[in-house]
Structure 1
Amino acid sequence: MTQDPDLQKLTEVMEDMPIGMFTTFGPDGPRAVPMARQQVAPGAEMWFITARDTQHVSALEENPRAVVTFSSRDAWVSLTGTARVVDDQPKLEELWNTFAEAWMPEGPEDPNATLVRVDIERGEYWDTPGGKVASLISFAKAKLTGTTYDADHGVVAPGGGPA
């Protein structure tokens, strides 16, 4: 089976974007917090390690919708999906790293440590190949010619929904 080129590009763009803004929709409205992604399975899911006693975990219990956005100097990604808390000790141990350890020094055995799995339903990316210089040239070209900024843009629906 051939992978969707936009999905392949989205996964590639995200390689150097480990930290994203994780947005939940709780009783007080949208709230975004920075979170480090642990694993991205191209096409379906994303994993995060978090503390069970956080506002974003409480918000997910009320409304499982989530948005995760990532950015770098020359690329941007927006993902929407359904998130849920997953109590899976072997998976938690598999994904555990020193970054998680900084927030939860008791390690994966900490009873407050848990996982959040986001099943991605839709994703979009904007990429300006060539880095900073190409971006500056594209901005200048757009300003001088009245054309739009040159960026690769793609929409994917890895969860099977409409793109």
Structure 2
Amino acid sequence: MSNSSLESIARKMRHLDIATFTTVTDDGALGSRPMSNNGDVEYDGNSYYFTLDSARMVSDIRRNPKVSLGFEGLDGLHIAVTGQAEVIQDKAAFEAHWVPDLDNWFDHGVDTPGLALLKVKAARVKYWQGEDSGEWVA
């Protein structure tokens, strides 16, 4: 596996939206669920996901911020991200990452009670695509 730049991996990720978002649960098990980055795909090592503060993944992150993200592209691309997550509850941050499609999930937009934004800061990103593979480490 060769060293890669974050920019070269970001180009590969440009059209990937859905990630398998994995957290460590309260009993030490792993919990995974599909999450959309809502088209916020200009990847700079940070990923953003909206949820509600009452979601189990939020309590998982508050207890243990180590997470992983898994992406898969139609062209045989697989990307694994490991990093640290944080829970953001700041309206300015919500507005910076909001897209109109989110109104389908959150009735009051950025004013939805209990809205939370999850930020995942990558520590390591690995990709595989056929014979090609690479890795970026923060």
Instruction: Name the TM tier (shorter chain).
Output: 0.7 to 0.9
Unpaired runs of 5+ residues, structure 1, are: 129-150, 159-163
TM-score, length-scaled by structure 1:
0.74
- Aligned equivalent of 2:77, options 53, 75, 78: 75
Matched-pair contact (CA < 8 Å) for 2:4–2:134: no
- CA deviation after TM superposition for structure 1 residue 40, in Å: 5.0
TM-score, length-scaled by structure 2:
0.87
Matched-pair contact (CA < 8 Å) for 1:40–1:47: no
CA distance in 2 between counterparts of 1:23 and 1:101 reads 25
Unpaired runs of 5+ residues, structure 2, are: none
- Higher alpha-carbon Rg: 1
Matched-pair contact (CA < 8 Å) for 1:13–1:127: no
Look up the match of 2:32.
Answer: 32
Would the alpha carbon gap of residues 48 and 60 (structure 1) be closer, same or farther in structure 2, given more than 3 Å must change?
A: same
Q: Residue 16 of structure 2 aligns to which amino acid in structure 1?
A: M
More helix by share: 1
CA distance in 1 between counterparts of 2:14 and 2:41 reads 9
- CA deviation after TM superposition for structure 1 residue 41, in Å: 5.9
- CA deviation after TM superposition for structure 1 residue 100, in Å: 2.0
CA RMSD of aligned residues (A): 1.8
CA distance in 2 between counterparts of 1:123 and 1:156 reads 5
Matched-pair contact (CA < 8 Å) for 2:103–2:109: yes
Matched-pair contact (CA < 8 Å) for 2:88–2:117: yes
Would the alpha carbon gap of residues 127 and 6 (structure 1) be closer, same or farther in structure 2, given more than 3 Å must change?
A: farther
Percent identity over the alignment? 25
- CA deviation after TM superposition for structure 1 residue 118, in Å: 0.8
Residues 5-154 of structure 1: pairs in structure 2 closer than 5 A: 5-28=4-27, 29-38=29-38, 39=40, 42-73=43-74, 74-128=76-130, 151-154=131-134
Asked which structure has the greater RCO (Cα within 8 Å, sep 6+), the reply is: 2
